[in-house]
Amino acid sequence: MVFENEEVMGVAYTQLIAPTIKAVQEIDKKLDDEINWLKVENQLLRNEVTTLKNKVQQLEEKVA
């Protein structure tokens, strides 16, 4: 909030604390959700890589 007293203006920083904390909490939640999704996606991709490695190994054994 801005207070005007003739030509002097100021900001009531104490009134910015609660909205700032709320904004940080919202950002933190979004980041936590994104990190969790990336962990799940990473595990799925690791599983797929393992499956593909096993298939390649089986094919190599058939060719050899």
Give the domain ranges of the chain. Answer: 2-63
Q: How confident is the model at residue 64 (pLDDT cuts 50, 70, 90)?
A: confident
Element at 52 (helix H, strand E): helix 17-63
Higher-scoring residue by pLDDT: 4, 20: 20
The pLDDT of residue 45 is 99
pLDDT in tens, 8-55: 677 889 999 999 999 999 999 999 999 999 999 999 999 999 999 999
The identity of residue 28, as a single letter, is D
Higher-scoring residue by pLDDT: 54, 4: 54
**Cα 35 to Cα 31: distance, rounded to the nearest angstrom:** 6
Cα 28 to chain centroid, rounded: 8
